[in-house]
Amino acid sequence: MSARKLKMWTGNYDGSREGLVIASSKERARKILGASRSEFDNYWSETPEVDPSLETEVLYTRPFTYLTAPPWHRGRCPLPDKEKC
């Protein structure tokens, strides 16, 4: 039995967070996110390399930032307090 190749997708999770998911298929990634086919197709794209340090079939997020991207957070990351930014 051969192992299925894993793929990684990143995209706009909710307008405030960037998301990442690793799965064996686009359909499986979409189901993990709970996104419709059009939402997934419009806001998510496959990335060329899978990050081996992250778990498969898990949603990771991080806040959108313009200077530096923080590390990935398992699940929904807390959003920074806008008054402190």
Q: What percent of the chain has pLDDT over 90?
A: 78
**1-20 per-position pLDDT tens digit:** 335 799 999 999 999 999 99
User: Residue 65 — pLDDT band, cuts 50, 70, 90?
Assistant: confident
User: 29-50 burial, b if ≥16 CB within 10 A, otherwise e?
Assistant: bbebbebeeeebeebbeeeeee
The half-sphere exposure of 3 on its side-chain side, counting CA atoms within 13 A, is 4
Whole-prediction pTM value?
0.84
More confident residue, 20 or 65: 20
